[in-house]
Structure 1
């Protein structure tokens, strides 16, 4: 059952790292880095467009982070119970999260915000690896 406990720990770590990624976004917004980054990527004098774009990007990221924390906690609870379903659910969530991360690298987000999103995915990789470990299936 050690691999199961390790998987659950990785999931709680993923939840914490997701909260940290959200805090990085908050700090980035407070410093105005997102606005500077968008102005550099899309030179425009339209302040309304810039405000709308910043709000759209921040909303998207906050929704992803919020859903991510909820899913981490749900998966950790399911992981404690064990079973095939927990492995499959964790794997699907990991794949969707990784796809979102890949998408984020194609978007005009500040690099620090995008890189902060890598950390929860690494925790997800660890959790999935523990869940699928052959020596002890949960």
Structure 2
């Protein structure tokens, strides 16, 4: 792969990760019922006010995580595009942090014994991490001479 082609693929991959992060942040708002039903199943004695409060808390937390993810992607895009010497290790660190947060969200159990986040939302939240793995591989790959 020539340097120009590789740079194009890196840019496409990084922007795809950014887009998936935005989508993963929006999905809980679009399909709020998944979150409501998951909390209701784990805590059947919750009143409607308690359910609303729990859902709102989750939406705020997921929004903060999503916003931090978007910032991380934009920062990584900038670092790679401007050929910063530290872009490769920084992209790797961002990937490890994002994947760790995604796995924690997917696997952590709450006091009900179920995962705190519905599995559907957890897996959607990990989708950008898969793209991140490809992006990290591409930024570390040495281009072939043109």
What TM-score, normalized to structure 1? 0.87
List alignment gaps of at least 5 residues for structure 1.
none
Tell me the equivalent position of 2:51: 50
Counterpart contact for 1:87–1:128, Cα < 8 Å: yes
Alignment partners' CA distance in 2, 1:78 and 1:92: 13
Alignment partners' CA distance in 1, 2:131 and 2:7: 14
| Structure 1 residue ranges, 4+ long, deviating more than 4 angstroms after superposition | none
What is the CA-CA distance between 1:83 and the residue it aligns to? 4.0
Larger Cα-atom Rg: 2
Aligned residues: 134
What is the CA-CA distance between 1:131 and the residue it aligns to? 0.9
Alignment partners' CA distance in 2, 1:9 and 1:77: 13
Q: Which has the higher contact order (CA 8 A, sep 6+)?
A: 1
CA RMSD of aligned residues (A): 1.7
Counterpart contact for 1:4–1:82, Cα < 8 Å: no
Matched, 1:112 2:123: no
SS at match of 2:116: coil
Alignment partners' CA distance in 2, 1:82 and 1:123: 20
List alignment gaps of at least 5 residues for structure 2.
108-114
Alignment partners' CA distance in 1, 2:122 and 2:83: 32
Closer/same/farther in 2, CA of residues 45 and 56 from structure 1, 3 Å limit: closer
SS at match of 1:109: coil
Counterpart contact for 2:80–2:87, Cα < 8 Å: yes
SS at match of 1:84: coil
Tell me the equivalent position of 2:9: 6
